[in-house]
Structure 1
Amino acid sequence: MSPVTYADIEAASQRLAGVANRTPVITSRTVNELTKAQVFFKCENFQRTGSFKFRGAYNALAQLSDRQKQQGVLTYSSGNHAQAIALSGKLLGIATTIVMPQDAPAVKLAATRGYGAQVILYDRATTTREKLAQQLASDRQLTIIPPYDHPQIIAGQGTAAKELLEEVPQLDLLLVCCGGGGLLSGCAIATKSQPNQTNSPSHHPRVIGVEPEQADDAKRSFYTKKLQTIHNPDTIADGARTPSLGKYTFPLVLHYVDDMLTVSEAAILRTMFFLWERLKIVVEPTGALAASALLEGLITIPDTKIGIIISGGNVDLQQISQLLK
């Protein structure tokens, strides 16, 4: 039996009602002309904390036992999941401890602390975040809420696709960025299980995951059917610097996702600035991954309806200005 079902996503949707933002779906005549398709952007950059991560974080924390809530939680994250756990903890009255890399974007560090979390920094080169988290959680009796490999996190993330398909019910393709696979697997489950589609699998939208070329562990895992790992992948898309898919997300991706693609660092930047300039929305590098596959021509399917998850908008402007130089 699947660790995450459409019923779990429906329950998460009810839990998030009135708490998470129902983010807008926007279109662009320019993008439609360029791609010869109808393109619909689900803008999770307008979600609370600036990314889809709030969905999964709140869904997971809301289901903790009273004892777990009283003792507090711990997670590890480069930034978006950190902020999401910190805000969810604040809303639910749960103390939060976040393990973050020293080189995490300053804007994400500041926001995480601003939501009241205790931040513990580590050096990527010398420390494995999972081991540090396990040690701290054991010492402090904290519940670990990992950033992606957790059924309740996956179910929460899947609500983004559920909402998109409720608004645009006859998509032909859904493009989703991939780091650890929580958003991708959750959205794929929602897409393949959406009840207002026909029962024939051929009528469900195709789902394609997109990750950076320099962090292509998920694509290689998808094609080899064996879990591949990259230690500290070097990519501007900091949300995709995960070492591998997880024990939950890997089999879910294999089962529900139709294909995986990768895009270059230059393509990510071009797409990010295109979205800034033409759609007038602030998108972070990871948030531009899915759109990049389409706008860079990796996919060409005219006369179709294509959904794209814009996963976040937490841009470190200092980092971007350095790249521009």
Structure 2
Amino acid sequence: MIRADASTPIGAVHVLSAVERLRGIAVRTPMLTSSAVDDLVGRRVWVKAENLQRTGSFKLRGAYNAVACMDEAQRARGVVAASSGNHAQALALAAHLHQVSATVVIPADAPAAKTEAIRALGARIVTYNRDSDRREAMVHQIARRDGLTIVPSANDYAVIAGAATVAWEMLQEVHDLAAILVPVGGGGLAAGTALAASSQHVKVFGVEPAAADDTLRSLRAGYPVPIPAPSTIADGLGHTEPARLPFEINQRLLTDVVAVPEEAIADAMAHLWRYFHSAAEPSGAVAFAGLLNAAGSLPDGPVGVVLSGGNVDWPAYRRLLDIAMEPTEQETHAAPVL
């Protein structure tokens, strides 16, 4: 496994190796377009629909690559991870495919859809309280007690390399992208995207909720800046501090970070549904919210946007869409959806 304490920095060889490991495992998700959105933001827009990935998010790429990189002894011990839900679900599938046991530590209030999917894959679930429990400490305690191998959601080179395959696919399909917008939580997807794009001189912008802007603050300060436990509808991006390895990469390669308000995230969900017929969870829609909020600040040319996941409970999804859809409906009365 490419461990977080590895002395050799991650590079193109690790990304290409991940591409090969994931061949036939991860879905090569489509790049979606809409002429109505192109007109709205004044440029060609390509949306990478990772909500159509197995387990409903990009997370399978990193989780599977991490388990595949382990030696037999590590896999035999079983794996454990903490997650708001998507990484846990991805690790459960990765472990199932490798026929190893998995334990996941998830919030007690995680969406039921994510919890049910994790159970269906045979993983053991341990819950924590977002406001009072230290989930990373819980993971390390479980790992020591049960002899399990920890698979971080972001702070591991193999996880980052797996996440980088999202952008690798985008750049293989669309050769003239000027920029890619990607959501930022722990920072693994942003770091992987920046790595994949660096050799092609494509600008990469991270997008995070303004209520959970730990990466933005940290990049401005030049070192990781912890923030209080955030409250945001984008539950998968509610981190209090960037993970160390992704932050080191993002410091070097990320062009900038855009922070978006909560209402913009709901608006982005509505736009993705109306124009691309795609259901996005709030965390998955954050990068598109960045496009809507900051299109004028991006370099000229086509833009890629990562729709990173679609695992959302129907009642929550319907409520957020009801809030956001009315102004979106008003925008589109005069023109058909194309």
Q: Which residue of 1 aligns with 2:3?
A: none
Structure 1 counterpart of 2:229, one-letter code:
N
On the 8 A contact 1:35/1:302 being kept in 2, the answer is no
Q: Which residue of 2 aligns with 1:12?
A: 18
Q: Which residue of 2 aligns with 1:191?
A: 197
Secondary structure of 1:222 counterpart: helix
Residue 146 (structure 1) aligned with residue 143 (structure 2):
no
Q: Which residue of 2 aligns with 1:283?
A: 280
Whole-angstrom CA distance in 1 between matches of 2:227 and 2:8: 26
Offset, 1:301: 4.8
Tell me the alpha carbon deviations over residues 67-94 of structure 1, each in whole angstroms, 9 at most, x when there is no partner: 1111100000011000000001001101
Whole-angstrom CA distance in 2 between matches of 1:78 and 1:231: 17
Residue 316 (structure 1) aligned with residue 313 (structure 2):
yes
Whole-angstrom CA distance in 2 between matches of 1:213 and 1:300: 17
Whole-angstrom CA distance in 2 between matches of 1:299 and 1:16: 36
On the 8 A contact 2:41/2:295 being kept in 1, the answer is no
Residue 241 (structure 1) aligned with residue 238 (structure 2):
yes
Q: Which residue of 2 aligns with 1:201?
A: none
Whole-angstrom CA distance in 2 between matches of 1:159 and 1:121: 30
Secondary structure of 2:244 counterpart: coil
Offset, 1:232: 2.2
Tell me the alpha carbon deviations over residues 124-181 of structure 1, each in whole angstroms, 9 at most, x when there is no partner: 2221000011111100000000111110000000000000000001211111110000
Normalising by structure 2, we get a TM-score of 0.90
Offset, 1:231: 3.4
Whole-angstrom CA distance in 2 between matches of 1:289 and 1:246: 19
Offset, 1:296: 2.9
On the 8 A contact 1:75/1:146 being kept in 2, the answer is yes
Whole-angstrom CA distance in 2 between matches of 1:18 and 1:38: 30
Change (3 A) 1:299 1:291: farther
On the 8 A contact 2:281/2:317 being kept in 1, the answer is no
Tell me the alpha carbon deviations over residues 97-133 of structure 1, each in whole angstroms, 9 at most, x when there is no partner: 0001101111111111111100001112221000011
> Percent of counterpart pairs with the same letter?
42
Change (3 A) 1:302 1:78: closer
Structure 2 counterpart of 1:209, one-letter code:
G
Q: Which residue of 1 aligns with 2:176?
A: 170
Offset, 1:322: 4.8
Aligned with residue 54 of structure 1, among 55, 60, 76: 60
Whole-angstrom CA distance in 1 between matches of 2:164 and 2:233: 25
Normalising by structure 1, we get a TM-score of 0.94
On the 8 A contact 2:269/2:282 being kept in 1, the answer is yes
On the 8 A contact 1:176/1:290 being kept in 2, the answer is yes
On the 8 A contact 1:150/1:248 being kept in 2, the answer is yes
Whole-angstrom CA distance in 2 between matches of 1:300 and 1:249: 24
Q: Which residue of 1 aligns with 2:44?
A: 38
Q: Which residue of 1 aligns with 2:94?
A: 88
Residue 103 (structure 1) aligned with residue 81 (structure 2):
no
Whole-angstrom CA distance in 2 between matches of 1:125 and 1:290: 26
Change (3 A) 1:257 1:156: same
Secondary structure of 1:248 counterpart: helix
Structure 1 counterpart of 2:114, one-letter code:
K
Corresponding residue pairs, total: 316
On the 8 A contact 2:178/2:299 being kept in 1, the answer is no
Give the RMSD, CA atoms, in angstroms: 1.4
Q: Which residue of 2 aligns with 1:295?
A: 292
Offset, 1:297: 4.2
5+ residue gaps, structure 2:
1-6, 324-338
